[in-house]
Copies of this chain bind each other. A is one copy, B any other.
Amino acid sequence: IRPISWAGDKLILLDQRLLPFETRYIEARTVAEVADAIREMKVRGAPAIGITAAFGMVIALIEKKPRSIDEALKVLEQAKNTLAKTRPTAVNLFWALDRMYNKAVESASKTASVNELLQDLEEEAKRIFEEELEAEIRMGIYGAEFLENGDTVLTICNAGGLATGTGIGTATAPIYIATALGKQVSVIAPETRPWQQGARLTVYELMQNGIRTTLIADTAVGLVMYKKLVNVVMVGADRILLDGHVFNKIGTLNEAVLAHEFGIPFYVLAPTSTIDTKSKVEEVKIEERDPDEVRTVRTSQGPVYVTVKDVPVFNPVFDVTPPKYVTGIITEKGVAIQPLHKNLRRLLNLT
């Protein structure tokens, strides 16, 4: 799977809104088209949005054809503003746009050629993609050490190559690397209500990549562990605190506690940029989303109601897993094992 490809003058993007019912690629040749792809969630997942926005800055120069360096910087500033408005809370988006704009300013101080500026920006966008890919391959290599031939991995949500844009992913990286190294690894993917990323995205991605995949209802995670049908749990993370608390997709805590109880190792895979070195667990607010996400189900025919339309709903988007349930945290810089509050600091070279 290649969710994001750069074709020299345009982006080719897998339209993730249509998955898994339809595999359709779209092209983005203008800043407006890139902005639309992000805003309309044709591209999703924090790293994938960052990469797409970075190439959006390159596309700005190709589209607008500025005739001077000054004009080019104005074009880039406009593109940055347009792209930044697409998803108001996406940290990777702002980070990638800032990095691209700073690169342009640096380049403009060295050359008067718009063409050289364009080349510098294209290289920078490619570098953002390559750095993401390299981090994921590193996580995959570290994580593959914990997979034996014949193992079955339980995951949750989609911490896969669709979310990162590279095709490798975070929680899925060890599965792909182990498979590439000749190990036979299977996956059990829970549906992951309410958004069903497991059923819609993970199952699609793994099957496209030839990985043996079994879908279960979220209610069945306990039984598959009790029956020892899984050897290891591997999940992604939205935020990791320095004491080892892991914030991730709702349902992660269920798997962590059950794995702990049934003696199954539980690994979290995430780049070190996910580690929040400042917050305490009680300071992190768990976002609640639209009740209709739980009242409805996304189908090939759009969202449809599955319950009483006005039933009150509690719809937290993620949960928090205390450090005691986490066997290890696998990052691009290595693996932090217990005690996490010591070893995460060591990994980040904090004193």
With A and B bound together, what is the CA distance between A334 and B326 in angstroms? 40
Minimum Cβ distance to chain B for residue A141 (Å): 28
Q: Rank and list the top 5 A-B pairs by shortest CB-CB distance, nearest first.
A: A219-B251, A222-B253, A199-B307, A299-B304, A222-B254
CB distance from A312 to the nearest CB of B (A): 5
Contact A191 B20 (CB under 8 A): no
* Most B-side CB within 10 Å, residue of A156, A295, A297: A297
Q: Is the CB of B220 within 8 A of A250?
A: yes
Given A20-B307, A306-B200, the answer on whether A316 and B215 have CB atoms closer than 8 Å is no
Encoded as 1 (CB less than 8 Å from any B CB) or 0, chain A from 221 to 237 comes to: 11110100100000000
A178-205 vs B, Cβ < 8 Å mask (1 yes, 0 no): 0000000000101111101001100110
When the two chains form their complex, are residues A191 and B306 in contact, meaning their CB atoms are under 8 A apart? yes
The 14 listed contacts between A and B (C-beta, < 8 Å) are A190-B219, A193-B218, A194-B217, A203-B307, A215-B295, A215-B313, A217-B294, A220-B319, A223-B316, A223-B320, A226-B253, A226-B319, A257-B257, A299-B305
Q: Which of B212, B253, B257, B304 contacts A300 (CB 8 A)?
A: B304
Q: A216 within 8 Å of B by Cβ?
A: yes
How many of these chains are in the complex? 2
Given contacts A220-B319, A257-B258, A258-B254, contact A308 B226 (CB under 8 A): no
Residues of B within 8 A of A298 (CB): 306
A261 an interface residue at 8 Å Cβ cutoff? yes
B251 pairs with A222, CB closer than 8 A: yes
Known: A191-B294, A193-B193, A319-B226. A219 touches B307 (CB 8 A): no
- Within the complex, which residue of B214, B219, B311 is in contact with A215, where a contact is CB–CB below 8 Å? B311
A213 interface residue (CB < 8 Å to B): yes
* Nearest Cβ on chain B to A162's Cβ, whole angstroms: 13
Q: Are A193 and B213 in contact (CB under 8 A)?
A: no
- Complex Cα distance, B156 from A61, in Å, reads 57
| B21-A311 in contact (CB<8A) | no
Q: Is A207 an interface residue (CB 8 A)?
A: yes
The chain B residue sitting closest to A249, CB to CB, is B219
A217-B218 contact given A304-B299, A305-B21, CB 8 Å threshold? yes
Q: CB-CB < 8 A to A258: which residues of B?
A: 253-254, 257-258
Q: Are B193 and A219 in contact (CB under 8 A)?
A: yes
Indicate which residue in B219, B226, B314 contacts A220 across the interface (CB closer than 8 Å). Answer: B314
User: By CB atoms of chain B within 10 A, which of A194, A207, A218 has the most?
Assistant: A218
In the bound complex, do residue B306 and residue A207 qualify as a contact, i.e. CB atoms below 8 Å apart? no
- Asked if B253 contacts A213 (CB within 8 A), the reply is no
A308 touches B217 (CB 8 A): no
Whether A250 pairs with B219 at a CB distance below 8 angstroms is yes
Asked if A215 meets B312 with Cβ closer than 8 Å, knowing A191-B294, A222-B251, A253-B223, the reply is yes
A351 at the interface (CB under 8 A from B): no
B199 with A306: CB separation less than 8 A: yes
CA distance A156 to B188 in the complex (A): 23
Q: Does A89 contact B (CB under 8 A)?
A: no
A212: B residues at CB distance < 8 A: 312
Cβ-based interface call for A349 (8 A): no
Do the beta carbons of B312 and A213 come within 8 Å of each other?
yes
**Known A214-B313, A215-B312; further 8 A-B contacts with Cβ < 8 A:** A204-B307, A212-B312, A219-B249, A220-B250, A223-B316, A224-B314, A297-B297, A301-B301
